[in-house]
A and B are shown apart, each in its own frame.
Chain A
Amino acid sequence: MSEVKDREYFKKLAQQLLFRLSDEEADSIVKEFSTLEKQMALLDAVDTEGVEEMIYPFEEDTYFLREDEVSHVISQEEAVKNVSKKVEGHFVLPKVVK
């Protein structure tokens, strides 16, 4: 919390998310952030002592074990249809080990 939330801070954070921010964009987050922190502080006005987190609207499970039957099959050709580089049904990526 004590860390300074400046342009560089948000640029670093973006790097971890695998995208870049321009100086202008990072500056606009710095600006937005001060309002956001004030909005977040509104949560502190709510006493949540002993309250459990609510993850989904309804807490009734609908999962099940389905029968081991084949359904909704896609072909190999379809599976790689949206890949920009492919060879013989494989995704093509740069070498990881050089």
Chain B
Amino acid sequence: MIKELAKNKEGAKERCLKAYEEAKKLQDKLNHVITFIDPSEQCEEIKEGKMAGVPIALKDNVNTKGIKTTAASQILSNYVPIYDAHIATKLKDAGAVCIAKTSMDELAMGGTNLTSFIGPAYNPWDTRRMTGGSSGGSAAIVASGTVPMAIGSDTGDSVRKPASFCGVVGVKPTYGRISRYGIIPYASSLDHVGYFTRSVEDAALTLEVLAGRDDRDMTSSYREVEAYSELLNGDLKGKRIAILKNVTDALHEEETRKIFFDLMKKMEEKGAIVEEVSLDENLMKAILPTYYLIANCEATSNHSNLDGLRFGYREEGSDMQEIMTNTRTKGFGPLIRRRFVIGSYGLFEENQERLFRKGQKVRRLIVEEVKSCLEKYDAIVAPASGSIAPLIDAQKDQDELSDEYLITENYMALANFSGYPSMTVPMGFIDGCPIGINITCGAFEEVKMFNIAEGIEEITGYKDLKAEVK
């Protein structure tokens, strides 16, 4: 899709204006955008490139020069960056035209997209349901067919989970593959730039545009950027696929199991060697608490600069401490404040060894377990979520100590711990709503990952899925 659109540069202005109008029209139903960007000016100076004249959207934690960037938080509600994030420049240089800054969970800290300061984003397939988060607005704007690509960010599963709920392709490449310069951080050792598309081919092409070394992100890799879209080949013959048995064992939704295992059978028919693999159960159960500790501890420290003094929203007070306290009390939503309290607790001197450092040690063991599995297999796969997107009004009655919650709903953070590339593609529908499969490969094996995803897309036929928003 993107390739074809970029060939037709003459139609760019009309196309981008149409996308902009469409996004505005859908806002009432989806509440998926924080700031709309009239593309007229950008259309006057579209650069030649792989995305020439292609309308796109950015998650609102991507700094955009002169355009409000809020990270869906009151505390940044008036913040207008004076510089572009590295990827914003890259996209502009490739000819892309940004029409919207999308909604997200506040400061990317959440998995529902219910905590944005503009209210919840709604799922295009069924607006009574959540999009998932934290990159829910971007997932929705791609799923509704408005733009072919939107940027997200992924610290635990914030691209791959909403991709499952919204029936789109969601990619989190290897840590260091895409520069994070100019992305409002959450937890630096886990944060990745990711993105959504409606086909694997577009996903491969997008990475060609976004990837590459940037001196302004010290973790960014020097490795050569491959021609992912040209190397795309859906041949599954001989591909060794490991089903993460811990995830499927803890999965109770029969329809999800059926869709997943039917797909596995079809992959075998295409020549893949599919086997069930159990990783150490104690390590699998430790993924969520490990994530929670590392992410919240890092976030507490990262967001100490949000104080109302140098930028962002400010509440008045009689001295600096009072200004900061008043600002941070009003500026952060309740979930964020809760998470900061937990993070700070984990960093207390008396808790650091028992909690934060313990989490970092367990992280190493989890990564070693995943790594040794990927020495024997080309990819690890499992359903990207236990079920379709939950209803927004549904009472939260999940047992947060059950294996289903600890493992099935939260295992994808293992790709953030390891930095390994991981993506979700649609695998089926339940009650008219989509659900995805997650694929994780070894470090910098994006070519292999895209090829397996392409093989799956060829089996399911779920390419260019568009939700009809009602």
Check A93–B320 contact: CB distance below 8 A. Answer: yes
B280 to A: closest C-beta gap in Å? 8
Name B332-366 residues within 8 Å CB distance of A: 332, 334, 337-338, 340-342, 344-345, 350, 355, 357-365
Given contacts A19-B325, A29-B341, A46-B283, contact A36 B292 (CB under 8 A): yes
A55 at the interface (CB under 8 A from B): yes
- Which among A13, A25, A45, A85 is the interface contact of B334 at CB below 8 angstroms? A25
- Per-residue contact bits, chain A 55-98, to B (CB 8 Å; 1 contact, 0 not): 11110001110100000101000110111110000010110100
Check B311–A51 contact: CB distance below 8 A. Answer: no
Chain A interface helix/strand/loop/mixed: loop
- Per-residue contact bits, chain B 310-342, to A (CB 8 Å; 1 contact, 0 not): 111010011111011100110010100110111
Give the number of chain A interface residues (Cβ < 8 Å): 51
- Which among B175, B289, B340 is the interface contact of A57 at CB below 8 angstroms? B175
- Which among A52, A66, A78 is the interface contact of B361 at CB below 8 angstroms? A52
Check B290–A43 contact: CB distance below 8 A. Answer: yes
- Which among B82, B360, B400 is the interface contact of A35 at CB below 8 angstroms? B400
Given contacts A93-B323, A96-B319, contact A48 B341 (CB under 8 A): no
Given contacts A43-B358, A82-B310, A96-B319, contact A17 B82 (CB under 8 A): no
- Which among A1, A51, A64, A78 is the interface contact of B350 at CB below 8 angstroms? A1
A85 to B: closest C-beta gap in Å? 8
- Per-residue contact bits, chain B 268-291, to A (CB 8 Å; 1 contact, 0 not): 000000000000001101101110
Check A46–B338 contact: CB distance below 8 A. Answer: no
- Which among B290, B345, B418 is the interface contact of A13 at CB below 8 angstroms? B345
Q: A48 vs B146: C-alpha distance in the bound complex, in angstroms? A: 48
A58 to B: closest C-beta gap in Å? 6
Given contacts A18-B324, A62-B218, A83-B311, contact A54 B355 (CB under 8 A): no
For B317, list chain A residues within 8 Å (CB): 94
Q: A35 vs B418: C-alpha distance in the bound complex, in angstroms? A: 26
- Which among B189, B312, B324 is the interface contact of A56 at CB below 8 angstroms? B189
B80 at the interface (CB under 8 A from A): yes
Check A19–B332 contact: CB distance below 8 A. Answer: yes
Given contacts A19-B329, A58-B419, contact A94 B289 (CB under 8 A): no
Minimal Cβ-Cβ distance residue in A for B308: A84
Given contacts A17-B328, A42-B286, A63-B218, contact A48 B83 (CB under 8 A): no
Q: A39 vs B289: C-alpha distance in the bound complex, in angstroms? A: 6
Check A51–B401 contact: CB distance below 8 A. Answer: no
For A45, list chain B residues within 8 Å (CB): 282, 285-286
Minimal Cβ-Cβ distance residue in A for B330: A19
B389 at the interface (CB under 8 A from A): no
B230 to A: closest C-beta gap in Å? 26
- Which among A13, A21, A42 is the interface contact of B282 at CB below 8 angstroms? A42
A40 at the interface (CB under 8 A from B): yes
Check B80–A82 contact: CB distance below 8 A. Answer: yes
Check B340–A54 contact: CB distance below 8 A. Answer: no
B417 at the interface (CB under 8 A from A): yes
- Per-residue contact bits, chain B 405-429, to A (CB 8 Å; 1 contact, 0 not): 0100000000011111000000000
Check B286–A93 contact: CB distance below 8 A. Answer: no
What would be 28 A-B contacts, judged by CB atoms less than 8 Å apart?
A13-B345, A14-B340, A17-B300, A17-B340, A19-B329, A25-B334, A39-B401, A39-B406, A40-B293, A42-B285, A42-B286, A42-B406, A43-B289, A45-B285, A48-B358, A48-B361, A51-B364, A53-B363, A53-B364, A54-B361, A54-B367, A55-B189, A56-B175, A56-B419, A57-B417, A79-B82, A94-B323, A96-B320
Q: Beyond A32-B338, A58-B419: 12 further Cβ-contacts under 8 Å?
A: A18-B325, A19-B325, A39-B288, A43-B290, A43-B355, A46-B282, A54-B361, A57-B367, A72-B216, A74-B82, A82-B312, A93-B320
Q: Which 10 A-B pairs have the closest CB atoms?
A: A57-B419, A82-B311, A53-B360, A54-B364, A48-B361, A19-B328, A78-B82, A57-B175, A51-B361, A39-B289
